[in-house]
Amino acid sequence: MKRNCLFWILMSVLCFLTVSCRKYSGFKRDSSGFYYQFHQVNEQNPKPDMGDFVVVNMCLRSDDEVITPMTQNNMLIDDLYRGDIYSALRTMHLGDSATFIFDGRKFYEEFLCMGEYPYGKAPIYADVKLLKITLKQNLEKAEELYNEQMKRIRQREDSLIWEYVDRYFLDYENYHGIYYYHNVKGDGPKPVKDQKVHVLFRGLRLDNTEFASSTDPASPTIFNLGQGQAAVAWDAILPIMSVGDRITMVVPSSLAYGERGCEELNIPAYTPVVYELELLKIEE
């Protein structure tokens, strides 16, 4: 009886393996559910582990139709579900290339989050080459160093503001952290929230190089005050300005480009900026 049971178990396993092999010719089945075929193997190289960061070239296709072109992707190796692309990547060595076959619907809808899978029961093929591995501990160290650097920059911000004020302001006032002085004092009304204002401005870095401007009275910058349509500092300072006022102000990063800065404008993180601002007109 025991021998008969063992025989049927062995036959079941053999049948399963035979069907699996026939299903995708040349591919083997991983225990987590995906199929794989390696084209290049570098056994002397390391494999990524949970939490590591990898760079890959990957092309996704359904049979012969390309779903996404060959692109370079940065990916974290933490499973979303059993047998996903991250499970497959952990079977690769650095420099390996392989083709993986996944359940199309699950990959498309759960991993890519691209809505309903349009290819019926067809699987998704992923042609992958593993280009780079960054270990989890190296990522954590880099993040720690970055946070330390940001902390030092953040602590230096007040010093940068005071250095500028001391160097360029003869007199100044402080309004909600904005240091400003009047170049010209107007005698017109002050704007209130939701009113449309016309302004001229120059945006300066701390070395007094210009990063933006609108200085032609014939085509001023126009926006509704207090609705987030302009720089945060402008919404903050304009309610205490009169029509005709022209001020220079040093703005802390919290009211400017914040913890990210602006690479396009060459403004680092946690860096104050300078605005020259003139209130031309208020529309009733």
pLDDT at site 72: 66
Q: What is the CATH number of the domain that holds 219?
A: 3.10.50.40
pLDDT at site 20: 44
pLDDT at site 223: 95
Same domain, 124 and 84: yes
Share of the chain above pLDDT 70, in %: 90
With respect to residue 16, please indicate whether it lies within any of the assigned structural domains: no
With respect to residue 10, please indicate whether it lies within any of the assigned structural domains: no
Same domain, 109 and 70: yes
**19-42: average pLDDT:** 84
Share of the chain above pLDDT 90, in %: 54
Same domain, 156 and 269: yes
With respect to residue 145, please indicate whether it lies within any of the assigned structural domains: no
With respect to residue 90, please indicate whether it lies within any of the assigned structural domains: yes
Q: How many domains does the chain have?
A: 2
Separation between Cα atoms, residue 120 and residue 108, nearest integer Å: 11
Same domain, 112 and 29: yes
- Domain with 181, as residue range(s), is 151-283
Same domain, 165 and 270: yes
Same domain, 189 and 263: yes
Q: What is the pLDDT of residues 240-258, one digit of tens each?
A: 999 999 999 999 999 999 8
Separation between Cα atoms, residue 15 and residue 18, nearest integer Å: 5
pLDDT at site 237: 95
Same domain, 167 and 229: yes
Q: What is the pLDDT of residues 164-211, one digit of tens each?
A: 999 998 789 999 899 999 999 999 999 999 999 999 999 999 999 999
With respect to residue 28, please indicate whether it lies within any of the assigned structural domains: yes
Same domain, 188 and 260: yes
Same domain, 115 and 239: no
Confidence of residue 128 (pLDDT cuts 50, 70, 90): very high
Separation between Cα atoms, residue 156 and residue 17, nearest integer Å: 65
Same domain, 111 and 71: yes
Q: What is the pLDDT of residues 51-79, one digit of tens each?
A: 888 889 999 998 778 887 766 666 777 78
**216-222: average pLDDT:** 95
Same domain, 76 and 185: no
With respect to residue 100, please indicate whether it lies within any of the assigned structural domains: yes
